[in-house]
Amino acid sequence: MQKQRLDLIEMFVVSLGGGIGGSLRYLLSFLPIVGQWPLMTILINWLGTLLLAILGSYLSHRSSRLKRWQAFLGTGILGGFTTFSTMLLQTAQLTQSNIVMAGLYLVMTVVGGVLMIILGQYIGHVLCGERL
Protein backbone atom coordinates (compact mmCIF):
# COMPACT_ATOMS: atom_id res chain seq x y z
CA MET A 1 0.00 0.00 0.00
CA GLN A 2 2.83 2.39 0.88
CA LYS A 3 4.58 1.68 -2.46
CA GLN A 4 1.38 2.38 -4.41
CA ARG A 5 0.97 5.68 -2.59
CA LEU A 6 4.54 6.69 -3.41
CA ASP A 7 4.03 5.70 -7.06
CA LEU A 8 0.92 7.90 -7.24
CA ILE A 9 2.80 10.83 -5.70
CA GLU A 10 5.63 10.38 -8.21
CA MET A 11 3.13 10.20 -11.09
CA PHE A 12 1.56 13.46 -9.89
CA VAL A 13 4.98 15.10 -9.61
CA VAL A 14 5.93 14.00 -13.15
CA SER A 15 2.56 15.15 -14.53
CA LEU A 16 2.91 18.56 -12.91
CA GLY A 17 6.44 18.94 -14.25
CA GLY A 18 5.38 17.80 -17.73
CA GLY A 19 2.69 20.46 -17.80
CA ILE A 20 5.22 23.12 -16.85
CA GLY A 21 7.78 21.94 -19.42
CA GLY A 22 5.23 21.68 -22.21
CA SER A 23 3.96 25.16 -21.39
CA LEU A 24 7.48 26.58 -21.51
CA ARG A 25 8.05 24.99 -24.92
CA TYR A 26 4.73 26.39 -26.14
CA LEU A 27 5.66 29.91 -24.96
CA LEU A 28 8.91 29.70 -26.92
CA SER A 29 6.90 29.03 -30.07
CA PHE A 30 5.89 32.71 -30.00
CA LEU A 31 9.46 33.84 -30.63
CA PRO A 32 10.13 34.92 -34.21
CA ILE A 33 11.27 32.23 -36.65
CA VAL A 34 14.51 32.82 -38.52
CA GLY A 35 14.36 31.36 -42.02
CA GLN A 36 12.88 27.95 -42.66
CA TRP A 37 15.20 26.05 -40.37
CA PRO A 38 13.64 24.87 -37.08
CA LEU A 39 16.23 26.59 -34.86
CA MET A 40 13.89 26.81 -31.89
CA THR A 41 13.55 23.02 -31.75
CA ILE A 42 17.32 22.61 -31.85
CA LEU A 43 17.79 25.17 -29.07
CA ILE A 44 15.03 23.64 -26.94
CA ASN A 45 16.51 20.16 -27.29
CA TRP A 46 20.07 21.36 -26.66
CA LEU A 47 19.02 23.35 -23.58
CA GLY A 48 16.94 20.45 -22.27
CA THR A 49 19.83 18.03 -22.79
CA LEU A 50 22.28 20.36 -21.05
CA LEU A 51 19.98 20.85 -18.05
CA LEU A 52 19.19 17.13 -17.83
CA ALA A 53 22.91 16.27 -17.86
CA ILE A 54 23.60 18.84 -15.13
CA LEU A 55 20.68 17.53 -13.07
CA GLY A 56 21.66 13.89 -13.50
CA SER A 57 25.30 14.53 -12.66
CA TYR A 58 24.41 16.66 -9.65
CA LEU A 59 21.78 14.30 -8.25
CA SER A 60 24.00 11.25 -8.70
CA HIS A 61 26.18 12.72 -5.95
CA ARG A 62 23.31 13.51 -3.63
CA SER A 63 21.02 11.60 -1.34
CA SER A 64 18.32 9.32 -2.71
CA ARG A 65 15.87 11.63 -0.92
CA LEU A 66 16.14 13.84 -3.98
CA LYS A 67 14.56 11.18 -6.21
CA ARG A 68 11.34 13.18 -6.55
CA TRP A 69 13.35 16.15 -7.79
CA GLN A 70 14.69 13.95 -10.59
CA ALA A 71 11.14 12.88 -11.41
CA PHE A 72 9.79 16.46 -11.29
CA LEU A 73 12.65 18.30 -13.00
CA GLY A 74 14.06 15.59 -15.28
CA THR A 75 11.19 13.39 -16.38
CA GLY A 76 8.53 16.05 -15.87
CA ILE A 77 9.73 19.54 -16.76
CA LEU A 78 12.61 18.66 -19.08
CA GLY A 79 10.73 15.72 -20.59
CA GLY A 80 7.81 18.02 -21.34
CA PHE A 81 10.12 20.77 -22.57
CA THR A 82 12.22 18.80 -25.05
CA THR A 83 10.68 17.36 -28.15
CA PHE A 84 12.18 14.41 -29.97
CA SER A 85 9.07 13.75 -32.04
CA THR A 86 8.92 17.35 -33.30
CA MET A 87 12.58 17.14 -34.31
CA LEU A 88 11.91 13.99 -36.33
CA LEU A 89 8.80 15.45 -37.95
CA GLN A 90 10.69 18.61 -38.91
CA THR A 91 13.51 16.51 -40.35
CA ALA A 92 11.00 14.62 -42.48
CA GLN A 93 9.44 17.89 -43.63
CA LEU A 94 12.84 19.33 -44.54
CA THR A 95 13.58 16.30 -46.72
CA GLN A 96 10.68 17.36 -48.93
CA SER A 97 12.42 20.62 -49.88
CA ASN A 98 16.12 20.12 -49.15
CA ILE A 99 17.56 16.76 -48.14
CA VAL A 100 20.99 18.25 -47.42
CA MET A 101 19.48 20.75 -44.95
CA ALA A 102 17.47 17.93 -43.37
CA GLY A 103 20.63 15.88 -42.89
CA LEU A 104 22.51 18.86 -41.51
CA TYR A 105 19.65 19.62 -39.12
CA LEU A 106 19.63 16.04 -37.84
CA VAL A 107 23.42 15.87 -37.44
CA MET A 108 23.56 19.27 -35.71
CA THR A 109 20.81 18.24 -33.31
CA VAL A 110 22.51 14.98 -32.34
CA VAL A 111 26.11 16.26 -32.22
CA GLY A 112 25.02 19.37 -30.34
CA GLY A 113 23.09 17.18 -27.91
CA VAL A 114 26.15 15.03 -27.22
CA LEU A 115 28.22 18.17 -26.62
CA MET A 116 25.52 19.43 -24.22
CA ILE A 117 25.74 16.15 -22.29
CA ILE A 118 29.50 16.50 -21.92
CA LEU A 119 29.20 20.14 -20.85
CA GLY A 120 26.30 19.40 -18.52
CA GLN A 121 28.12 16.56 -16.79
CA TYR A 122 31.14 18.79 -16.34
CA ILE A 123 28.99 21.54 -14.82
CA GLY A 124 27.26 19.01 -12.57
CA HIS A 125 30.60 17.76 -11.27
CA VAL A 126 31.77 21.32 -10.66
CA LEU A 127 28.56 22.11 -8.75
CA CYS A 128 29.29 19.12 -6.53
CA GLY A 129 32.78 20.43 -5.83
CA GLU A 130 34.59 17.72 -7.78
CA ARG A 131 37.74 18.37 -9.72
CA LEU A 132 38.07 16.75 -13.10
CB within 8 Å of 132: residues ≥ 6 apart = 122, 125, 126
Report whether 88 contacts 29 (CB < 8 A): no
Q: How far is CA 39 from the centre of its chain?
A: 15
Q: Is 86 annotated as a binding residue?
A: no
Q: Is 82 annotated as a binding residue?
A: yes
> Residue 56 and residue 50: Cα distance in Å, rounded?
10
Sequence ranges of the binding site: 79, 82
Sequence ranges of the binding site for Na(+): 79, 82
